[in-house]
Chains A and B, each alone.
Chain A
């Protein structure tokens, strides 16, 4: 075994250990924080709804990746007693632009031309993802019924088409048990706030400036490595 080979092996081992440590830290979350990761499946959905001079339009996607790290005060189990107020938070959510598809009202695909228009308006590429970084999470009030969601106000930076705006909107958090969570919410945006001009087609069709975003974001608190049987 030559010296160069031994050196490469050591570097590789050191790198692997460092990566493992990083991965372990990521699964634990920051000190005192609990990390919840996006849990893909049939329930994950983001929906955009807009208007035009001819008919309303809608688009949907099924990928919202990212994570939510929360501190004390966040309900981790169903029915958990928590006090209204700010909750320490670090969260990011990502939506790949090309995963958004224009659809008919019945959910069937609408038009790849409309998809192309949408990607172009969202300036993808180069902005391949819609990003939301949460800076504040405030529990507005405790749920009034055992199965009611916890209502928070989320504030953060939304990056669309490469333009960043600070927004806030209510989100509902429902601990489902078994370390699973459902986060839902909706908000309305103006396309022009993100420097997206309402599109006009052949002089008779123009899209409205307002777009409503709704989402369902399933999360899961992954068990740390080594705790599973």
Chain B
């Protein structure tokens, strides 16, 4: 079972090391920081002149504004409309998108022929209505993750996206678009870590999750994450990204989940736990231990995957490998950059450093983020939308097979589609259920079937 998990591409560790020998060696030796896409700072005035892709952002909370700010860095995108039902949210986001029209009614966006795509960044339980309407209106849709707060709603969205063959639907599993993840994927799956043993992920942040507002109604709407009837809690709303990326590396959906959750610190009447733990079981017995808290920020967020030969830690946009003393020598690690973590030595796993090595770039301190996973996800989304629109403009929409064939050969960056989004939503919903009940829930394979 484990061997199969480690060999989803039909390659083994030897193949991986052989096929990637030079590039991998240069990558490992390069000593360049872990940013996978070593491009110049985007968003120059000259780049903005190529903006032809008009997008609307619906839902202007903290994350919606992050999306707006990220779109502002993308040369190929132009935020034409922003939408929120709260005037203050519109005004605040309007400062980041000064050229965008503002509306409180998302249906006006759907009837606007200029808008090619919409981003749905509303509270999770409001995704379905907007996503379905946007798909029906012929828009490309980027829907934040989790897709919905129930399996039924997530399935409905995914089925509608599947039926909309000439439209792009991307779920907000942004780490699946991150080149760093794509660099690590074959490394981990090829068996370079030995046999999978376990995985661990955490998200620690000192924040109440509660916001104040001028009216009780607004406060209730604003604090939807603290409303147990609609919120998927820490494990569903935050943990879904880290759990999904672990499932992706494992190449399997979890088969069971056990959860625990308590309101330990913010005793303000909330019933959504401020601290959660969950154990997700994968085929073969490997388990992911996940914990998240709003009451302590120590060590922030990261993911680990442990194998019999080595462990890999993923933190922000970097990754390191920690080898066991009895593990086989891979070769390149002798020359690789190493960093000390307490009593351990981490070997930097460097994505895309070969360009830097060729160009003679010297080892240097990590740069600040210029390309976040969200940046990569939105960039990939806009490029895929443009590719679909160009194809249909040139060849029509009569031949879906030709469209898919064309997209497959169009050098597009990877994205998470409706199926990945649906699977992540199923896991999120059930993990939250396990946290709330403190029980072990067997995840039935049929729950993950789209139908």
Contact = CB atoms under 8 A, between A and B. Distances in A.
Interface in A81-98: 94, 96, 98
Nearest to A37: B395
A69 to B, nearest CB: 18
B410 A101 contact: yes
Contacts, number: 94
B75 to A, nearest CB: 4
B409 A40 contact: no
A2 interface: no
Interface size class of B (residues with CB under 8 A): 35 or more
B42 A113 contact: yes
Interface string A72-114: 0000000000000000000000101011010100011101111
Interface residues of A, number: 35
A111 B394 contact: no
A40 B406 contact: yes
A68 to B, nearest CB: 15
B405 interface: yes
A103 B50 CA distance: 19
Contacts of A41: 402, 405-406
B358 to A, nearest CB: 7
B391 to A, nearest CB: 6
A193 B408 CA distance: 34
A173 B46 CA distance: 40
A100 to B, nearest CB: 10
A44 interface: yes
Interface in B133-181: none
A113 B40 contact: yes
Contact of A116 (B50, B390, B395, B409): B50
Contacts of A60: 411
10 contacts: A54-B359, A63-B390, A63-B395, A98-B386, A99-B390, A101-B410, A113-B40, A115-B76, A116-B42, A116-B47
Interface of B: 37, 39-40, 42, 44, 46-47, 49-50, 52, 74-76, 358-359, 379, 383, 386-387, 390-391, 393-395, 399, 402-403, 405-406, 408-413
5 closest Cβ pairs, A-B complex: A65-B394, A116-B47, A111-B39, A116-B75, A119-B50
